[in-house]
Amino acid sequence: MAEVLVLAELNPAGTGVRKTTLEALTAARVLGEPSAVVFGAPGTAATVRDGLAEYGAAKVYVAESADIDGYLVAPKAEVLAQLVVEKSPAAVVIPSSPEGKEIAGRLAIKTGSGFLTDVTDISPDGTATQVAFAGGVIVHSKVTVGTPIYTLRGNSVTPESAAGAAAEETVSVSISEQAKLTRVVDRIVEQKSSRPELTEAAIVVSGGRGVASAENFSVIEGLADSLGAAVGASRAAVDSGFYPHTFQVGQTGKTVSPQLYIAVGISGAIQHRAGMQTSKTIVAVNKDPEAPIFELADFGVVGDLNTVVPAATEQITARK
């Protein structure tokens, strides 16, 4: 069976693989047998091997080096290019994170291959689906040159487990002088809340301009916490200083596709929809019955969020 390389994205400090990696392994399986490529300090692969095996990795290429984390994307692109030349895989699938996309671009140049970014689906014949122009256009494309390289948009594919042998194979990592030109000099760990990561959460509660203030975002957070959800925000809410930019959902923010998306005080502009319209169930709370978000919502509540949301939070909490 054809081999498909999958770049494994890991959680910080050896706490397993990210969901995006499981999604990439699942998507890669339609093209062939996935082999995960793990980068990190010595000992990293051992901490994630079982997780990769559970999602069908037939092989694990172990690209470990004491100083690989000291550089940005260039060494990873170099090692992946070397693997593409040696193994002639049928394709390479990479999670569509900012780092993943940069590695994929460099890999495409190094191997003279075609590269499809932010794909939401891959067919067995290699045709990829992309969503363009804020969700208005669905594009089907196929790479015709070199080894097809895909970056897979998060939450587009549901991870499905499948047993894989995850046989380890060590890859020699020699970082060229060219790849050492940009060095990481410091890392500051972002303060994480106890809420799930926005792009990986099964439930997202987002607030918009209708929330009216930073303080009032506690109403959104209260509902999110009662559901074990992540908090998101519209650009208008972010631009008004109600919530930090890293939580923005939409065309110029993050793309989410949870099981349940609750839009509170959000009108439903096309640029917001672009980041959430593939959510499985959409609930909207808005005081304007004509708000465009209701065209998209599966369930809608017309009312003042300051009344509706605390009441919902209270009921959900009481039923737990």
Ligand X SMILES: Cc1cc2nc3c(=O)[nH]c(=O)nc-3n(C[C@H](O)[C@H](O)[C@H](O)COP(=O)(O)OP(=O)(O)OC[C@H]3O[C@@H](n4cnc5c(N)ncnc54)[C@H](O)[C@@H]3O)c2cc1C
Which residues in this chain contact ligand X in the complex, by CB under 6 A? 208-210, 234-237, 248-253, 265-267, 269, 271-272, 275, 285-288, 291, 304-306
Give 52 or 223: the residue with its C-beta nearer to ligand X.
Answer: 223
Q: Which residue is nearest to ligand X (CB)?
A: 250
Q: How far is the CB of 129 from ligand X (least distance, A)?
A: 21
Smallest gap from Cβ 208 to ligand X, in A, equals 2
273-307 residues labelled b (16+ CB within 10 A) or e (exposed): bbbbbbbeebbbbbeeeebbbbebbeebbeeebee
25 vs 293 by CB, closer to ligand X: 293
Residue 202 or 269 with smaller CB distance to ligand X = 269
Minimum CB–partner distance for residue 206 and ligand X (Å): 8
Count Cα atoms within 13 angstroms, Cβ side, for 116.
Answer: 27
Nearer to ligand X, 11 or 251 (CB): 251
- Dihedral-angle region of residue 55 (phi above 0 means left; psi in -120 to 50 means alpha; beta otherwise): alpha
Q: How many CB atoms lie within 10 A of CB 64?
A: 17
User: CA 105 to CA 69: how far, in whole Å?
Assistant: 19
Nearer to ligand X, 36 or 236 (CB): 236
3-state secondary structure of 133: coil
Q: Is 146 left (phi over 0), alpha (psi -120 to 50) or beta?
A: left
Three-state SS for 311?
helix
Please, what is the minimum distance in Å from the beta carbon of residue 14 to ligand X? 33
